[in-house]
Structure 1
Amino acid sequence: MPQTDDCNRLPGNYQEFHDRVAVFIPQERIFCGPFTNLAYGDDASFYRLVPKIVLKLRTPEEVSQVLSDASALKVPVTFRTAGTSLSGQAVTDSVLIYLAGAWKGLHIHDEADFISLEPGVIGAEANFQLAPFNKKIGPDPASINAAMIGGIAANNASGMCCGTAENSYKTVESMKLIFVDGTTLDTADPRSRDAFLDGHPALVRELEAIRDEIAADPALMERIRRKFKIKNTTGYGLNSFVDFHDPIDILLHLMVGSEGTLAFISEVTYRTVPEHPHKASAMLYYKDIFSACQATIKLKKGPVSAVELMDRASLRSVEDKPGMPAFLKGLSDEAAAILVETRAPEKQELLSNIEAIQALVADIPTVHPITFMDAREDYEKLWNIRKGLFPSVGGARTPGTTVVIEDVVFPIESLALGTVELQQLMHKHGFPEGIIFGHALEGNLHFVFCPDFSKPVMVDNYQKLMEEVAEMVVGRYDGSLKGEHGTGRNMAPFVEMEWGRQAYAAMVRLKNAFDPENLLNPGVIINDNPHVYLENLKPMPAVNEIIDRCIECGFCEPVCPSRSITTTPRQRIALQRNMVRLRNSHDDALMKRFWEEYAYFGEQTCAADGLCSTVCPVAIDTGKFTKELRASQTTPRSRKIAQGVADNFGCVLRGLRMGLKVVNALHGVLGTWLMGQLAESVRDLSGDRIPLWTKWMPKGITPPPFKDTTGQPEREVVYFPSCVVRSMGPAKADPDQRAVYEAMLSVLRKAGYGVRFPQNLDELCCGMAFESKGFFDQADQKVRALEAELRRVSDNGRIPILCDTSPCLYTMRRKIEPDLTLLEPVEFIHDHLMDKLRFTPLPDSVAIHVTCSSVKMGLTAKFKAVAQACAGNVTLPRGINCCGFAGDRGFNIPELNEAALDGLNEALPPDVTGGYSNSRTCEIGLSKKSDIAYQSIVYLVDRATAPLK
């Protein structure tokens, strides 16, 4: 069923709402179908609601008008940025306003004392922009590399170091807000403040009334102060009424942690905090969790910025990760650890801090000596493991189970007793595999367990556990039921229990004052349904062992090339799980529709680049899953064609060369403009079946016979020019009209290398083109033949082997036994030629693109080093990951390449004269997007080098 049909069949007021917003929102940013809306409606929580309408809004004016229309028609709306929230506050079955992919405005003020951020800015991006000033934003959630500012502020997300001193509440300076009626407020603008006060007298009076009633009740005031001395995000921030008197200041701080239930935050300005240059971290291992908590209590008085607790189950989930010591596997089942960090502006102060820390815990025996590490690469390994702990635990669960993470806070003096009791409760209620970790310095612990919610007994166990945990945390320790994850749906029924009737009544009044019709994210924070936390639980059926470990955390989304046009890895997995659910429920019609839509949204627009695995804490490669899906969909006919191509590879290459030569000749006759018009017309008439032509299309080349050469003693290499390089020459507009292999051979000659070539080159291929389309047998056939020839020509691995195309080399490394030394061009130049050539940096300003295969091989730093040795000014555009060209997909699905490179032109300095990469097809897409010639890095090296005398 087409998307437009869905948008014409909406229930009740939703149809009129859609028709109103469709007047000013383009149809391509309005989604009404069950397929797209399930994908966009998915978040990191364990709840599943499917929106009726998803709107991708881009400006405050659009939000204002949409809210005005929603208010008129009584249609509820929910705001969503990254969807990394864990408590069900970003899901809805009504209208979802989807902000990710836009709202990226960022402005640094006053020597970085302040930073203004729109809600779609990723937290880590804000810190990257502040880094040159030795500043950062205060909030530091573990999800900061994916979480966006809108969610960070709306949930008062904190993290490992900011505690209660540097969270959003404490560091917010001002906000721009849009209210349910569509009106706006800029809290930093006196005129806007005055206009708001005049235009909302009832709301202002209610804020003042609540403020005055709290001030008149010393017991309530003291309770509020005491509860916010520890981390607390349960309910609304009543401390706003205690800490501030002006109604606008109260309103501003109420927005922090309000989870989109009071207004929309269109911009937030933070006061920044120092980012100390000197840091050191250590993992302290104790015999049991009680001892680890006792050490934490002592460290609360010391010069520490963070203490992260990990129980034995937590450690077990990461003990095989790089950077973790081997002795972890020998720890007892009762052991626990704390990860401690200290920071200082000067090195000597850092050393003093370390001594003080060790003295504080000297009387609590450890099971391993304490070792602090102050090298960034060392301590970042530890912290990356901690940041990925929750997804790692989820990835180790039994397929089909759901990951539940809860978030409680004990007063620090009760941490040890409370933690032990929490462990006991998980065992009592059937979750012995549960783990405990978290921000122990603040008494803030996360406990994670993995129930199978398809079994009613597990839902019952979960209910009983939550009831006892709430009674224990609140009743015995007067702690917080939420410390940083927000109230959401899963803690809404317990807000009154934690706060008491009087404080909860004030929260209800707040919600009614801001949103009298309960249209902004209804059901979150304030909810009369005592069982809402047990409803709409997300099904997690097993699909495929490659993706079953995914917990849908969303960490993968920022690097996905298709994130702004179709789906992301998380969304593909959510869709696959739903299709399994539909199959199991025998809903054949809907399952058929989902599969039909998945063909484009899930499979065809997946670049299968695998970069998602580099940011996924459990290294899930959704691209690999996509290749397996393609393999399952091959037919006898398609496999026969693939086999024919594999068996007659040389003939196919000759045909490709001839086709490219003909097209290039036609380009020469018609000229670029006319050729472009003709190509677009032919593609349109073919229904996009004819590949896209651009002026950066390479001309076909037929290489001469490659002949072995001799060089200096001990300098010998096997050179395997890839089939792409042997077929695709430069484009007409490229500045260097040599083939890549000519430039490569020039560099090797200058370095004094003798070169050997494989025989029968036209028939050799790494198999990547077959593998990416799902023809695994043919891919294996080609790589095995290549391996045999490379063994022969390299004297069984004695001579290193160079391939000039990064993706091909990456494929070879994965498929060929590691006793052969296989080198990519940047790697070979960096490791073997930097001391054998004279580099003279050119005065050029150049851009480089590190392909996804090079990123996965860890070559980014080497790529930059080679480029910087060759040119005076080198730019690696931030935020540009996979180019999305994906072999031939840039020709056949050019919108994928276009979307993947969104922001490239803005990231390039105006004086850039050329771009360089290490994959011919990627260079085509980069050139098309930027209209700057991208060629192999080998050309730049050849231009900048000369033989050593």
Structure 2
Amino acid sequence: MSLPAAFLQAVERLIPRQRRFDDPLSTLAFGTDASFYRLVPKLVLRVESEEEVVQVLRLASAERVPVTFRAAGTSLSGQAISDSVLIVLGDHWDGRQVRNQGAQIRLQPGVIGAQANVSLAPWQRKIGPDPASINACKIGGIVANNASGMCCGTAQNSYHTLAGMRLVLADGSVLDTEDAASVAAFQASHGELLEQLTELARQTRANPELAARIRHKYRLKNTTGLSLNALVDFDQPLDILSHLLVGSEGTLGFISAVTYHTVPDHPHKASALLVFPDVASCCRAVAVLKQQPVSAVELLDRRSLRSVENKAGMPEWVKALSAGACALLIESRAASQGLLHEQLTQVMDALVGFPLEKRVDFSEDPAVYDQLWRIRKDTFPAVGAVRQTGTTVIIEDVTFPVELLAEGVNRLLKLFDRHGYDEAIIFGHALEGNLHFVFTQGFDAPEQVARYQAFMDEVAQLVAVEFGGSLKAEHGTGRNMAPFVELEWGRDAYQLMWRVKRLLDPRGILNPDVVLSEDPQIHLKHLKPLPAADAIVDKCIECGFCEPVCPSKELTLSPRQRIVVWRDIQARQRRGEDTRALERDFQYQGLDTCAATGLCAQRCPVGINTGDLVRKLRARDATHQATADWLAGHFASALKGARLTLRATDGARRLLGAPLLARASAGLRKLSGQRLPQWSSALPQAAQPTRFNPPAGDSRPRVVYLAACVSRVMGPAFADREQMPLIDKTRALLEKAGFQVIFPEQQDNLCCGQPFASKGYAEQAEAKRDELIAALLKASRGGLDPVYCDTSPCTLRLLQDGLDARLKLYDPVKFIREQLLERLEFHPQEQPVAVHITCSTQHLGEAEGLIEIARRCAREVIVPEGIHCCGFAGDKGFTTPELNAHALRSLKDAVQHCSEGLSTSRTCEIGLSQHAGIDYHGLVYLVDRVTRPRA
């Protein structure tokens, strides 16, 4: 059925066109979250204010239109999808207010969990919830799902650390529990509702059996059903209401702000890994550890250890463990190192007498600590990486009473064997009896769905009935467990949940079929297809962890959405359907606006670089082979042409003036169908051809200077206060530090191949790369001298496919860090500087090194939050300037008090300067300014 015309007309007046999506590509892209379900919405609305939410809900209520809210879409149980109206959060939901020296924090729902903790870090505090997705998930989802995590347990989840809430009910009414005026107004308008909540709570507490069941359920880690504990924990209706919203998964209202009581974030920590010979002894140890000063205890069964034992960096001993081995990864944290050491002794003393197969003692060494946690964190993606194409990875989430944990683990293992889930693994937060089990499942045939149904029916009986546990410890009920809520809770509690739902959402418009559903088969419907699309992305589990670092997210598509759409195109083509319209839209949304920087791969649990797929598809359409061949063979001529173009452009600027040229350029770009680039005042002037000095033959150490082609072509912008070209500035700094600078012969013919690779001309790219490596070997005397590359993207390009082992190649950060710090005296400036960490710098592992060098140079260093990639992407800043503008839309406000910005890529600096309102320069400019040779 289509949406009511009256609703659509009213929404069109309320939400601007650029924030309403109803075309087939967009609705398909938004139809996916991290779960194994899919619903394609009829309309997607990106909201930017609470008032918009209020008005949409009033319209939806009047017309009985179902709506679903989504924050980051990382939830796993099918609670953030809709076949009606999907409401997603825009940019303007990231408000934060730290209170009382970090004791509380007020957050809007669009704040990423990790960003909240960054705001609290100066006070050594953090929010209580610590889900594994904290670098991607948002506060709205964390509260609505009552998410927890490895250290959170039950005491520090959103329910127990809630200090206040601002919410919007289904009728559009607003309540802020921290605002006396809002409370008074709500009491006046919704007095009957509050009285009914009070009466529900009174009746619940007056039913001893029901109240006892509720209290028992919430002694466990539990997110199955609605938060009925609100009815026994509180007698004031506002407290009841706000705590009912926690864990309600958008079925009772919209959470527009939340205030947390924060928890300590102790700076000192250590981890150990203990391997027991069997599950029983491992779980007995858990019961002992529950009384000890530990912050996390993670259980890993032998199957989960086996899933990662062959991964790079894993210790060899993992392979030698016995078939029945079971491990505990233990972490302890403290406010001081002395207290930490006392705790570690206490923990190990408590475990004396337990048999162990392997023991890795507590270590504070980050290398050891990180390796141990890698074992735990790599288990889930390890299963995803080996699954059969077309199947999905399902991660279930149950709680057993801790005293029954060993028997629960063994019974689950038997279920895996009985239903043929040989790849399934178990791990989890053992202190709470919370186990995750991961298995792969296809849904292409009825017998596959029947197998899954039979397995889940048995899991439900085992966990909820036999063991009195929870079917959803922390992932939320969603569609996944909605049919089993009554089985777990019993009829009285289940009917109580329905009474709460109908009281707060009488028209049933909020996220129907989530948490509570009258359809006993809802968990078997709308199962997400994951058809083969390309080997590069077939392992994608659509978790959404990649999205925060993507510069095109919310402009066009995110990496997850690109994969979703490409999968659908491929599946439709195999069915013989006409996909030309979808492919036309995908050209711009999926290919033209992808920066292809590969930051998504750093966040992806299975290491997928969506940019690789984009480059492959661009190569398919790369039809100008002859032009690419000519450019590769006449590169010096191409550089001359580029310099000539920049000179002509600057001549036009001198003649017309910058404002008139900017307007004329914009008009010409529009007339050309967006094919001509847009001029801006940050556009470089032409650089003078480099003067190559022959080796002097003196005693100074030599360094080969590889100047990137952009450095050879692009000088400073006309209005930049720094008018010395990058090559001259770099050479001066290197010579100041005592180096003799050598240039490769015929440098203007040399290129790393990046411009060709990014356009899909792989053959020409490799030819230029090989040519350059040969020239560098000659210039460096067979690798005797280090090679300094002044642009980090070129450095990364040369290193990515394996550099000749004889060459010692450095990007600016690594060379300054390893070669110049000991040769120069630093005198930091007072003026603050902004630092942009390029994508390539992140890939090279030099992000922290860049920040540390900047802090040697300036007393205040700003790294703007949320800008992971500038979106300039080589030449995208010229050809697709909207990508650069979108990626840097928050930059100006973040750096307005800085004197200048720093980067390690000349092209990135163009866009950064244009959108920041300050000049961005290469790192060497600041280093040269604040240093002198060390005596």
TM-score bracket relative to the smaller structure: over 0.9
Contact 2:305 2:375 in 1 (8 A): no
Q: Distance in 2 between matches of 1:627 and 1:797?
A: 32
| Mapped pair 1:942 → 2:928 | yes
Residue type matched to 1:846 in 2? V
State the 1:380 CA deviation. 4.4
Q: Deviations over 1:575-602 (max 9, x none)?
A: 11111221222221xx222211111111
Pick the aligned partner of 1:871 from 831, 855, 858.
858
In structure 1, the partner of 2:737 is 751
Contact 2:465 2:487 in 1 (8 A): no
State the 1:322 CA deviation. 6.3
In structure 1, the partner of 2:874 is 887
| Mapped pair 1:532 → 2:522 | yes
| Mapped pair 1:283 → 2:270 | no
Q: Deviations over 1:490-542 (max 9, x none)?
A: 10000000011111010011111111111000000110111111111111112
State the 1:321 CA deviation. 5.1
Contact 1:710 1:755 in 2 (8 A): no
Pick the aligned partner of 2:592 from 590, 596, 604.
604
Residue type matched to 1:602 in 2? G
Contact 1:323 1:378 in 2 (8 A): no
Q: Distance in 2 between matches of 1:331 and 1:99?
A: 47
| C-alpha spacing 1:547/1:603, structure 2 compared with 1 (3 Å) | same
In structure 1, the partner of 2:706 is 720
SS in 2 for 1:416: helix
In structure 2, the partner of 1:702 is 688
In structure 2, the partner of 1:859 is 846
Q: Distance in 2 between matches of 1:110 and 1:837?
A: 43
Q: Percent of aligned pairs with the same residue?
A: 49
202-211 or 424-433, larger mean C-alpha shift: 202-211
Describe how 1:154-165 pairs up with structure 2 within 5 A.
154-165=144-155
SS in 2 for 1:372: strand
Q: Distance in 1 between matches of 2:280 and 2:91?
A: 44
In structure 2, the partner of 1:730 is 716
In structure 2, the partner of 1:812 is 798
Q: Distance in 1 between matches of 2:808 and 2:866?
A: 32
Q: Distance in 1 between matches of 2:816 and 2:175?
A: 57
* TM-score under structure 2 length normalisation: 0.98
Q: Deviations over 1:880-905 (max 9, x none)?
A: 21110001100111111111112212
Contact 1:650 1:763 in 2 (8 A): yes
Contact 2:202 2:235 in 1 (8 A): no
Contact 2:94 2:108 in 1 (8 A): yes
Q: Distance in 2 between matches of 1:532 and 1:774?
A: 44
State the 1:359 CA deviation. 2.1
Q: Distance in 2 between matches of 1:320 and 1:150?
A: 38
Q: Deviations over 1:656-708 (max 9, x none)?
A: 11000110111122211111111111111111110111011111123143112
State the 1:944 CA deviation. 2.1
SS in 1 for 2:860: strand
Q: Distance in 2 between matches of 1:14 and 1:363?
A: 69
Describe how 1:501-900 pairs up with structure 2 within 5 A.
501-588=491-578, 591-635=579-623, 638-710=624-696, 713=699, 715-815=701-801, 816-900=803-887
State the 1:191 CA deviation. 3.1
State the 1:327 CA deviation. 1.4
Q: Deviations over 1:235-265 (max 9, x none)?
A: 0111111110011111111011000000000
Q: Distance in 1 between matches of 2:403 and 2:198?
A: 36
Q: Distance in 1 between matches of 2:697 and 2:869?
A: 37
Q: Distance in 1 between matches of 2:715 and 2:470?
A: 65
Contact 1:83 1:554 in 2 (8 A): yes
State the 1:817 CA deviation. 2.3
Contact 1:711 1:752 in 2 (8 A): no
| C-alpha spacing 1:863/1:392, structure 2 compared with 1 (3 Å) | same
State the 1:346 CA deviation. 2.6
Q: Deviations over 1:364-405 (max 9, x none)?
A: 212112411124454345446534543343233222111111
In structure 1, the partner of 2:52 is 62
| Number of residue pairs aligned between Structure 1 and Structure 2 | 934
Residue type matched to 1:620 in 2? I
SS in 2 for 1:755: strand
In structure 2, the partner of 1:77 is 67
Contact 1:734 1:935 in 2 (8 A): no
Residue type matched to 1:906 in 2? D
710-719 or 507-516, larger mean C-alpha shift: 710-719
Contact 1:323 1:382 in 2 (8 A): no
Contact 2:48 2:91 in 1 (8 A): no
Q: Deviations over 1:128-159 (max 9, x none)?
A: 11011111111111111111000000000011
Residue type matched to 2:617 in 1? L
Contact 2:48 2:90 in 1 (8 A): no
Contact 1:185 1:193 in 2 (8 A): yes
Describe how 1:85-96 pairs up with structure 2 within 5 A.
85-96=75-86
Contact 2:706 2:787 in 1 (8 A): yes
Q: Distance in 2 between matches of 1:261 and 1:841?
A: 54
SS in 1 for 2:921: strand
State the 1:323 CA deviation. 5.7
* TM-score under structure 1 length normalisation: 0.96
Give the unaligned 5+ runs of structure 2.
none
Q: Distance in 2 between matches of 1:906 and 1:387?
A: 36
Q: Distance in 2 between matches of 1:108 and 1:350?
A: 28
| C-alpha spacing 1:710/1:836, structure 2 compared with 1 (3 Å) | farther
Q: Distance in 1 between matches of 2:900 and 2:140?
A: 37
Residue type matched to 1:569 in 2? P
Q: Distance in 1 between matches of 2:373 and 2:495?
A: 41
Contact 2:690 2:712 in 1 (8 A): no
SS in 1 for 2:712: coil
| Mapped pair 1:497 → 2:487 | yes
| C-alpha spacing 1:805/1:437, structure 2 compared with 1 (3 Å) | same
In structure 1, the partner of 2:475 is 485
In structure 1, the partner of 2:171 is 181
Contact 2:896 2:917 in 1 (8 A): no
Residue type matched to 2:35 in 1? S
Q: Distance in 2 between matches of 1:891 and 1:67?
A: 41
Contact 2:300 2:328 in 1 (8 A): yes
Contact 2:650 2:685 in 1 (8 A): yes
Q: Distance in 1 between matches of 2:861 and 2:697?
A: 32
State the 1:37 CA deviation. 1.1
SS in 2 for 1:249: helix
Q: Deviations over 1:827-882 (max 9, x none)?
A: 11211111122333233322121211011101112212222232333222222211
State the 1:56 CA deviation. 0.2
Give the unaligned 5+ runs of structure 1.
1-10
SS in 2 for 1:180: coil
793-802 or 834-843, larger mean C-alpha shift: 834-843
Contact 1:734 1:933 in 2 (8 A): yes
Q: Deviations over 1:247-305 (max 9, x none)?
A: 11111110110000000000011111111222211121122333322221221121111
Q: Distance in 2 between matches of 1:917 and 1:711?
A: 33
Q: Deviations over 1:891-936 (max 9, x none)?
A: 11111111111221222151x1111211110000000001211111
Contact 1:711 1:753 in 2 (8 A): no
SS in 2 for 1:450: strand
Residue type matched to 1:835 in 2? E
Contact 1:766 1:782 in 2 (8 A): yes
SS in 2 for 1:549: coil
Residue type matched to 2:295 in 1? S
Contact 1:711 1:755 in 2 (8 A): no
Pick the aligned partner of 1:168 from 158, 172, 178.
158
Q: Distance in 2 between matches of 1:692 and 1:252?
A: 51
